[in-house]
Amino acid sequence: MASTALDIITGDGDKAAIAYWKLRSHSRWLMSGCIEWMRALNKRGYGVFSIAPNANALTHRVAWVLAYGPIPNDLCVLHRCDNPRCHNVDHLFLGTRQENLADMRRKDRQRDYSGCIGIRGEANANAKLSASQVLEIRAACATQDALSKQYGVSREHIRDIRARRKWVHLDG
């Protein structure tokens, strides 16, 4: 049975070195910090990386495996930056498929790679906000009062999010 591209990289140091070199040499660095894959993309815009004939993997998953090792079975590698071509590991995090889908439905989104949710924060049953809403709140110029009304949470909650006392694991 053929191994998957990610298995090949994990199990073979030489292949991992080649993959690392290939990933970097066929990418461009953006001011945002995104490292964009410049070769093949799939229909949804994710970079496609080939390590052997019939052994492909998505570039952001390859980058994750090279940096941190195998991806746990029930988790997926998600983008903080909403850029499916990006494979900068600083822009990636692990989340569950279920949470990702739930967020998608809530936002009525077409694309499944944006606004992904991490395993902390929203996995907590008491969480009222999604990870992407937290990022919106941090980026917003509106007052605590306005944001509290808009998102249906207390002003104290907004203040804590902005002061990074809540959702501390989220960058932004």
Residues of this chain that interact with Zn ion (CB under 5 A) are 34, 81, 83, 86, 88, 91
Residue nearer to Zn ion on the CB measure, 37 or 167: 37
- Nearest by Cα to 99 from 79, 121, 123: 123
| Minimum distance of Zn ion from residue 32's CB (angstroms) | 6
Residue closer to Zn ion (CB basis): 91 or 157: 91
**Pick from 74, 171, 53, 69: which is nearest to 119 by CA?**
74
Residues forming beta bridges with residue 41, ordered by sequence position: 47
* Least Å from the CB of residue 3 to Zn ion: 28
**Least separation in angstroms between CB 35 and Zn ion:** 7
Residue 88 tokens, joined: 């900068």
Pick from 82, 100, 94: nearest CA to 34: 82
Radius of gyration of the chain, Cα coordinates, nearest whole angstrom: 18
| 92/137 with CB nearer Zn ion | 92
